[in-house]
Amino acid sequence: MSRNISLLLFLTVILGTLIVVSSQNWFVIWVGLEISTLALVPLLCSNFSPRNIEATIKYFLIQALSAALLLNGAMIQAWLTGSWSILEPSNNVTMLCISIALAFKIGLAPCHFWFPDVLQGLPFTQGLIIASWQKIAPLVLIFSISNTTFSYLLISASLISIVVGGWGGLNQTQTRKILAFSSIANMGWITVTALYSTQAAIIMLIIYLLINTAVFLLLDLLTLSTLGHLNNTAQLSPISIILITMLILSLGGLPPLTGFMLKFTSLYFLISNNFIMLSAIMVLGSLLSLFFYIRISFNVSLVLFPQHIVSLTAWRNSMSTTYLPANTWMASSLSTIGILAIPLTLPLYIII
């Protein structure tokens, strides 16, 4: 696929998301979601490998199912109330269809089964779009319907997602599947927080997008597809040991890293609204996720891993000055922000 066509399709994906974010009409929202999905499908299968095409077909089928549920729910509302407005009070059937559709789109449990397999079959770049940008539009819709009577359904799905995301990543060796289960858990944190404070959920979403983008770009830059490849990080790039370790621990929510603000923000608003007992379940689920985050950090830190190095690595053997490509600069910049951006996130709380 040529670069111009890829750029046009990617801009169309962005346009579809902007349509969803800026609209208050269910039919226009459905059109925006479909535009984004149909433009993304050719980008996902650009490699034309069997595993890549399989993941693309699975993604398309799930998105078609969720879009059909959302459209049916909106049509039921239009039939009963005569309005397509998202601000119009909705009936139970409409909110049930829309809640299930949005759970499929962002990968909330028990509608998460497609996400790890699809992400594993895609390259890191396309997987980054699925795990970050494509979550924005559904989450904005969840922010809009967070005060409905079906909020308890989203709370249950969020709590299950936090536990499933931590439990499912324990026995994984593929980095993309680990990031998929990590995304499922973080979507649970953001969704349950949105039901009590939309502003806090927006802050959490921004922090998550920054850290997740940096992790995907760094793993793609070093071609680290399994936990076994992490052992050679010291030979590929010494500074990457620090970046990957800090980013993964930041994604796990350890203070004083940026990802700590994600968990702290959620727990602060939930406990302020007497969401105490269920917050304990969320913390326990987060401890499960922290186990495989620490395992990744441990594998990266094995600078003296037992092996026989015959030749010098590229970074040691190179004597000439080379210019770093744009993706290296982007990965490094986002990694720094994802690790040490607490002073940048504090002003957001003043706005709240």
- Of all residues in the chain, the percent with pLDDT exceeding 70 is 82
| Total count of domains within the chain | 1
Q: Judge whether 143 and 197 are in contact, CB under 8 Å.
A: no
Q: Tokens 């699809």, residue? A: 118
Full domain range(s) for residue 286: 3-306+320-351
Decide if 107 is inside a domain: yes
Question: Is 144 within a domain?
Answer: yes
Rounded to whole angstroms, what are the CA distances from 280 to 82, 159, 285, 349? 43, 10, 9, 24
303-315 mean pLDDT: 46
* Residue 312 belongs to some domain of the structure: no
pLDDT, one tens digit per residue, over 224-271 is 888 877 776 666 667 777 888 888 888 888 877 888 888 888 888 888
Q: Is 222 part of a structural domain of the chain?
A: yes
342 by Cβ neighbours in 10 Å (0-12 / 13-18 / 19+) ranks as middle
The CA–CA distances, whole Å, from 104 to 1, 61, 97, 113 equal 29, 11, 11, 9
Under the banding of pLDDT at 50, 70 and 90, the label for residue 161 is: very high
Contacts of 59 (CB under 8 A, 6+ apart): 41, 44, 114, 118, 130
The Cβ-side half-sphere exposure at 44, using a 13 Å CA radius, reads: 29
> What's the rounded mean pLDDT across residues 63-68?
93
Entry field: residues in the chain: 352
Is 313 a domain residue? no
- pTM for the model stands at 0.87
- The answer to whether position 311 is within a domain reads no
pLDDT digits (tens, 9 = 90+) for 116-128: 999 999 999 899 9
